[in-house]
Homo-oligomer: A and B are copies of this chain.
Amino acid sequence: MSDLDPRSVGAAVAQRAGFLEPLILKAGKTLASYELVYETYGKLNADRSNAILVCHALSGSHHVAGFYADDPKKVGWWDNLIGPGKAIDTDRFFVIGVNNIGGCHGSTGPASIDRATGKPYGAAFPVVTVEDWVVSQARLMDRLGITKLAGAIGGSLGGMQALQWTLTFPDRIGHAFVIAAAPRLSTQNIAFNDVARQAIVSDPDFHGGNFYAHKAVPARGLKLARMLGHITYLSEDMLMEKFGRVLKRSELGFNYDVEFEIESYLRYQGDKFAQVFDANTYLLMTKALDYFDPAKESGGNLARALSAARAGFFVASFKSDWRFPPQRSRELVKALVASKKAVTYAEIDAPHGHDAFLLDDARYHQLIAAYVDNIATEIGVGDRAAPLQLAKGEIEEMSAYASERGGA
């Protein structure tokens, strides 16, 4: 598809940046050195003011837009949003996707070789937090010569990073797009994460996190974690509409093989994910989610916690999202308003659940485009070459296809 799409950024090339300056983590541990893998789309303008950083969620990566020349089907997970003439218009903006530390798509993570031992970090890889990621991302911006971001954008865990940018580096970010996120996880969110973690750590093939040395993969645990995650990314209505109670065969089997379509779908998604994703990364990402709580140091007063921010905010939620429902975004919006910040809030009536943030919904993308156009005016990078070309307003993609690509 994308190689024929005139609005694609085209063939993307992953780049690497090595950092020898130690990174002191919130956990109290230090990463002596690390690498970040990233991609960029569009051109940095002369005054280096047009950069937009894309932060990924649980299973995402640096491959945000375009495709790979040697694997054209590997389209970036937010390709529907980012490209020439798209909502985030690469004709005017310089867009950066980066794989977070601890990830499993190329940046230093649990599966990387620890130079100190010559072996994979495994269980020794430290737990990293949203705050740590933002610091590491800022160092990448330094490397790219970007003093101040025009914006940072992310959905779910990615939105938390965009929000954290406004607190850790208030002078280095113009606008934060916080989409389908929450100012902190609910008890239920943490509970689901812990079931996923217990599935992984109790898999005999996990070997306490050092499964690499055993040439094993805790595929059973990772599959369960992914199956469970998937259910929470999709709305109940969407599941009912897509799969209903349809059986794979015409008759009930009266056994525990695959029987309903939804079982087949979830098991397939789980198996596929377990083949490609790193179990330690999964653990670490869920922990970063659990820990994120910017109001904690202000005794739970989110408005006070946000007072340092100087950015403008675009907050969006989706009505059918029950993982991070609109109510959670409204908490953030209310605190921003109470803290006298400039905030635009959209509650989008999309049926897909949490995954909606990854999907091609015309109303949603139009709102982002309008906000991005205001940033363009603010920083003086001109108008769109052509009017925004939105998707036809129908969402043909499977919601789950989105999860596959960018995951919550």
Q: Which residues of A contact B (CB under 8 A)?
A: 26-29, 126-127, 184-188, 190-192, 194-195, 197-199, 201-204, 220, 223-224, 227-228, 231, 236, 239-240, 242-245, 252, 254-256, 259-260, 262-263, 266-267, 270, 283, 287, 290-291, 293
Contact = CB atoms under 8 A, between A and B. Distances in A.
A127 B198 CA distance: 28
Contact of A126 (B186, B245, B254): B254
Nearest first, the 6 A-B pairs at minimum CB distance are: A27-B254, A187-B239, A127-B254, A202-B220, A188-B236, A194-B263
Contacts of A28: 254
A85 to B, nearest CB: 37
A244 B187 contact: yes
Given A187-B239, A188-B239, A195 B256 contact: no
Given A194-B260, A201-B256, A256-B283, 15 more contacts: A26-B254, A187-B240, A187-B260, A187-B262, A190-B260, A191-B227, A191-B263, A194-B262, A194-B263, A197-B256, A198-B227, A198-B270, A199-B224, A252-B291, A260-B290
Contacts of A228: 195, 228
Contact of A187 (B245, B270, B293): B245
A270 to B, nearest CB: 8
A185 B220 CA distance: 26
Contacts of A259: 290
A133 to B, nearest CB: 15
A187 B256 contact: no
A160 to B, nearest CB: 15
14 contacts: A127-B254, A187-B239, A187-B245, A187-B262, A188-B239, A188-B240, A191-B231, A194-B263, A194-B266, A198-B223, A198-B267, A202-B220, A252-B291, A256-B283
A266 to B, nearest CB: 6
A184 B126 contact: no
